[in-house]
Structure 1
Amino acid sequence: MDTNVINIDPEILGGTPVFFGTRVPIKNLFDYLETGDSIEIFLEDFESVSRNQVIRVLEISQKLIETSSNLLNENIA
């Protein structure tokens, strides 16, 4: 599995996180999902992004949320 999913480079869109190998901001995916569009619609509009990249970004996001939730719960207790 390709491990390069997200690229942050000051030379590409001023360091905005993008899908690796593209100039498509990761935020665009979440904007689409937030407005009710499907992953399929996103992929149709951004053909340079692969389904695997989208799935990996969602998996990474889930892990970050779970980790953050665990840290927040530990600090509250």
Structure 2
Amino acid sequence: MRVAGAPIEILIEYVALFQQGDSTIAARKKLLIEQWRKLYEKQEAMKRTIERLDYKIKRHDTLAIGKKHELKDTKD
């Protein structure tokens, strides 16, 4: 979980629950689900950002091609 960016406090809580035994399975699962949800939300936000950057890059390519044609036309 640490590699996934879980705060150290969550890891400490998870380990403490784990050490208490099987009676804490539901609580540990809840912690895991909460961390999963947070990661999923970050992933979705990053996906939207990547899509926006892809759009902007393609737009710049289109603008660059247009400028290239403008320069060519002015030389003729």
Quickly name the TM-score band, shorter chain normalised: 0.3 to 0.5
Mark the structure with the bigger radius of gyration: 2
Under a length normalisation based on structure 2, what TM-score does the superposition of the two structures give? 0.42
Under a length normalisation based on structure 1, what TM-score does the superposition of the two structures give? 0.41
